[in-house]
């Protein structure tokens, strides 16, 4: 473990669907969970049920809720999530947004609906293994403020990525680490756990698809644990990485770099 290091503006007010406390007692109040798992979705109707089943399996013994933030998926992911909220294996809230507004802002929208003391952020496409969630949560229990599922520490990896994708990832990671003075090996991970008060504070830009790098830049004294994992290429759905997202990432880095310079003066 090492020391290093709101304003969410959606396209319009999101609509929420909340599931029952349990399948056996639909009218009972859902108890406050210890863990909220935020899952942004866009065209993930095939993978979402498998992800939630996996979370239910590894979440035994934990009070877990799932927050789905759907950006009006054309494939009906939002409708699938609504049905799962009614009868799925875990308490679930579905936040419906009117269109694609970026992964980072989706996480912030989910955080506004979350009730857990600890929040895990992960993708719906099965590239992030649910079985790693207990280890991320345990790191927080042991004193970390942020725990990161890391591809770039010993034991981690990126699977069968082609060399071009590996190169782009490495360049982006090094750019973020050097430009912002971050010690974390994988600051662009989309799979992490954080104390909720860090995620719900005011001031986040929420640009693009990499919120973790902004969290780390804004909390240089945070206690961070990196847990190794091997990234698995998406098993369903469609890739979210587009040219516009890359530009949003570069814009975010520029904003954070300027903020860091002012902070160090």
- Planar angle of CA 103, 109, 115, nearest 5 degrees: 125
186 pLDDT more than 80: yes
Give kind and range of the element (H or E) at residue 150: strand 146-150
Residue listed under structure tokens 């210890």? 34
Model confidence band, residue 244 (pLDDT cutoffs 50, 70, 90) = low
pLDDT digits (tens, 9 = 90+) for 90-148: 999 999 999 988 899 999 999 999 999 999 999 999 999 999 999 999 999 999 999 99
pLDDT band at 19 (very low <50, low <70, confident <90, very high): low
Instruction: Look up the CATH superfamily of 2-264.
Output: Spore Coat Polysaccharide Biosynthesis Protein SpsA; Chain A (3.90.550.10)
Nearest to 114 by CA among 27, 193, 58, 35: 35
User: In whole angstroms, what is the distance from residue 75 CA to residue 247 CA?
Assistant: 26
The whole-number average pLDDT for the span 249-262 is: 69
Which pLDDT value is given to residue 17? 60
Kindly report which listed range (9-18, 72-81, 123-132, 237-246) carries the lowest average pLDDT score. Answer: 9-18
């Amino acid at each position: 473990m090492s020391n290093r290091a709101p304003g969410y503006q959606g396209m319009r007010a999101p609509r929420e669907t909340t599931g029952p406390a349990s399948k056996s007692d639909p009218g009972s109040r859902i108890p406050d969970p210890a863990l909220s798992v935020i899952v942004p979705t866009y065209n993930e109707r095939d993978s979402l049920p498998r992800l939630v089943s996996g979370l239910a399996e590894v979440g035994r013994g934990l009070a877990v809720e799932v927050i789905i933030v759907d950006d009006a998926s054309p494939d009906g992911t939002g409708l699938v999530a609504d049905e799962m909220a009614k009868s799925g294996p875990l308490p679930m809230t579905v936040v419906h947004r009117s269109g694609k507004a970026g992964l980072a802002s989706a996480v912030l929208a989910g955080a506004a609906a979350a009730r857990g003391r600890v929040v895990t952020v992960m993708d719906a496409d099965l590239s992030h293994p649910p079985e790693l969630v207990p280890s991320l949560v345990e790191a927080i229990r042991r004193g970390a403020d942020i725990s990161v599922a890391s591809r770039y520490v010993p034991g981690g990896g990126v699977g069968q990525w082609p060399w071009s994708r590996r190169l782009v990832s490495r360049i982006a990671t090094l750019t973020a680490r050097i430009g912002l003075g971050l010690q974390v090996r994988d600051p662009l991970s989309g799979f992490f756990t954080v104390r909720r008060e860090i995620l719900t504070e005011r001031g986040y830009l929420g640009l693009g698809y990499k919120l973790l790098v902004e969290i780390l830049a804004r909390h240089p004294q945070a206690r961070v644990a990196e847990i190794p994992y091997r990234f698995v290429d998406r098993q369903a759905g469609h890739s979210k990485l587009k040219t516009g997202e890359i530009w949003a990432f570069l814009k975010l880095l520029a904003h954070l770099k300027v903020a860091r310079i002012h902070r160090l003066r």
